[in-house]
Chains A and B, each alone.
Chain A
Amino acid sequence: MENLIALLVAAPLLGAAVLLCGGRRLDAVGHWIGTVLAAVSFVIGIVLFADMLGKGPEERTLTQHLFTWIPVGDFQAEIGFQLDQLSMTFVLLISGVGSLIHLYSVGYMEHDERRRRFFGYLNLFLAAMLLLVLADNYLLLYVGWEGVGLASYLLIGFWQHKPSAATAAKKAFLVNRVGDMGLSIAIMLMFTTFGTFAFGPVLASTGDASEGMLTAIGLMLLLAACGKSAQVPLQSWLGDAMEGPTPVSALIHAATMVTAGVYLIVRSADIFNASPDAQLVTTVVGAVTLLFGAIVGCAKDDIKKALAGSTMSQIGYMVLAAGLGPIGYVFAIMHLVTHGFFKAGLFLGAGSVMHGMNDEVDMRKYGGLRKYMPITFVTFGLGYLAIIGFPGLSGFFSKDKIIEAAFAKGGTEGWILGSVALLGAAITAYYMTRVMLMTFFGEERWRNQPTASPDEPSAEPAAEHHGAHAEPHPHESPKVMTIPMIVLAVGSVFAGGFFSIGNRFEHWLEPVTGYKHGNPPVSALTVTLSTMVVLVIGAGIAYAQYGRRPVPVVAPRGSLLTRAARRDLLQDDFNHVVLVRGGEHLTRSLVYVDHTLVDGVVNGTAASVGGLSGRLRRLQNGYARSYAVSMFGGAAILIAATLLMRGV
């Protein structure tokens, strides 16, 4: 059985190699090759899962050692895989949701002439992410980590002819690089402290290291997680990453990439458990991002950017839960899985809406679409109900558990974190209701006005055959796109309830992450009820603002907070002022020092030597007789000196 683990990674990797090296002759079938190989990975995952279920909880970890990658003295880098319950959960999520997104892309990218290449990149993305979650040591995880960064760069910038897409790809890559630096420092610290970076030995021997060292490793891992999972302060790339094709957004937000940070923290649970300081910072980062993303999501008129804000916020919930320690790890992963379903569904729904609307992304130019796109409406609606935590749907179970766990942290911290999580739930209800109302309800604001302004190139090449500047004719998407949406909607509805029956998700993950039931200071029922209350309040405010009043097509000026939130709460401005300007000033002062001080010393030396030699060369007049005088003079002086010395 364990020999199958490598195949999980190998199948999509083979797909990427074949599609990217195969050339044009594969254009006709390339997308199906990519989809089938992603599905192969999923099927192998199912087989391994069935095998795992047949064993006792303590014997479920499978390992496969392939070969030694870099053997240098004490430094042994192994290529080996480890499949335990945590990896298994991720494998099923990544390959399952990934396969659905592949299938959807077959329809979505139908008119793109570079579709084969797109599927090659998608397969590369899956392979890198699977490598990341299956590695049995931090160095191999780092390989997958970088692979994910590369694939996201290629996919975000897939429409590289648009300068905005090329810039967004570069931004995502550079911001991620900061996080990657954190991970590499953490791995180096691990090697100096423990002498190895394999999961087993490192996590088993955390007791031998000082708490300060563990805190340093934990904080560096957190920095890495912040980069990949778009947490404050490294969150700025996520909104711009919407420049990529919509299936890419779905893949990044649901199955791959942003979940990697949460995986890293939960995988390194023992390190965080041993360092309360690192845990505290993790919860603070999660709580801040949770509000940050939610507020940004409230102000965006671009449907994809509103969803991106929502992702940031939901990942914030997961990081918050992961920072809570054993009472939260399980729920972080549970929310990650349910979020994978409904966020992929929401993004695919948004893509379907754009597909029918000439790639218009401004929700102010939508409205009343439920009549024209019934399937999209229903699936998007179920995803919406799931994400706001409507009772009985997936998000309800997972988010409620996180809020409970936050209160159960205890003390003032518990109250603050719990309240923030609760407030986040209210804002989530608000912005998602807003998206829902602006898109599917209200007047048909797209009538009598061309979408996509003429001076901008059509956002997505898929629209070209529609005649991008005419009034849109909303229509339902083809089956190849709606089927994945329906499957994901089913997952959004039932996954949470399925996981919660008899606490089976807790029991499933307990051997890996550990689980301790946290008791909130107030009863669990009170927490659930107050979640319901804030949910109704949030959705009610959104209804009052966007459901009962007509939505203006041109965005109103809005309050100071709205304007700031439209600019992503000034995160880019902050980065610009502090990092870009700061860097420029540093460079300029260094150039000044270089010009005055360094060049001054060098040039000064040269000039003084030059001046001296200019004077000396006058002696060289070229006349043999003047040299003879010098010789006689010199000889006379020498002889005179010798005689004088002897005389003394």
Chain B
Amino acid sequence: MNPVNYLYLAALLFTIGATGVLIRRNAIVVFMCVELMLNACNLAFVAFSRMHGNLDGQIIAFFTMVVAAAEVVVGLAIIVSLFRTRHSASVDDASLMKL
């Protein structure tokens, strides 16, 4: 199978993720979309690794997964405490910093 198709899929997934981050208000969904973008990148890395015939891309993918895991820990903690204080998971409600 042509590896370029994987790249198309990665681009599609990334676009879906980015659109979700921009248009959804629910923090959990925004968060999942961020994960989607990260995994789209992983897919692209692995595809490139396959195309170039070396392992660099796969190593980077492992790093990305570690970063994503750390991000999940921190991000979920923030979202939970946000929900506890505001009884809402909407990102637009967390706007205390604006003037």
Contact = CB atoms under 8 A, between A and B. Distances in A.
Interface of A: 617, 620-625, 628-629, 632
10 contacts: A622-B98, A622-B99, A623-B91, A623-B98, A624-B91, A624-B92, A625-B21, A625-B23, A625-B91, A632-B18
- Chain A CB within 10 A, most for which of B21, B23, B25: B21
Contact of B98 (A621, A625, A629, A632): A621
Across the A-B interface, give the 5 residue pairs with the lowest CB-CB distance, nearest first: A622-B98, A622-B95, A624-B91, A622-B97, A628-B21
B94 interface: yes
B99 A617 contact: yes
A624 B92 CA distance: 7
A632 B96 CA distance: 23
B70 interface: no
B7 to A, nearest CB: 15
A617 to B, nearest CB: 6
Contacts of B94: 624
A625 B99 contact: no
Given A625-B91, A625-B92, A620 B22 contact: no
Interface residues of B, number: 13
A633 to B, nearest CB: 10
A623 B22 contact: no
A620 B98 CA distance: 6
Contacts of A623: 91-92, 95, 98
Interface in B23-71: 23, 25
A632 B22 contact: yes
Nearest to A617: B99
Nearest to A629: B22
A621 to B, nearest CB: 6
Contacts of A620: 97-99
B99 A628 contact: no
Contacts of B96: 622
A632 B23 CA distance: 13
B22 A625 contact: yes
Contacts of B92: 623-625
A58 to B, nearest CB: 93
Contacts of A629: 22
A621 B91 CA distance: 13
Contacts of B91: 623-625
A629 B30 CA distance: 13
A360 B42 CA distance: 112
Contacts of B95: 621-624
Nearest to A635: B18
Nearest to A621: B98
Nearest to B18: A632
Contacts of A622: 95-99
A628 B21 CA distance: 8
A368 B53 CA distance: 135
B45 to A, nearest CB: 16
Nearest to B94: A624
Contacts of B98: 620-623
A535 to B, nearest CB: 94
Contacts of B99: 617, 620, 622
A632 B92 CA distance: 18
Nearest to A626: B22
Given A622-B98, A622-B99, A632-B22, 10 more contacts: A620-B98, A621-B95, A622-B95, A623-B91, A624-B92, A624-B94, A625-B23, A625-B25, A629-B22, A632-B18
Contacts of A624: 91-92, 94-95
A628 B22 CA distance: 7
Contacts of A617: 99
Nearest to B96: A622
A617 B98 CA distance: 9
Contacts of B23: 625
Interface string B74-99: 00000000000000000110111111
Contacts of B21: 625, 628
Nearest to B19: A632
B67 to A, nearest CB: 17
Contacts of B18: 632
A576 to B, nearest CB: 58
A621 B95 CA distance: 8
A620 B95 CA distance: 11
A617 B95 CA distance: 15
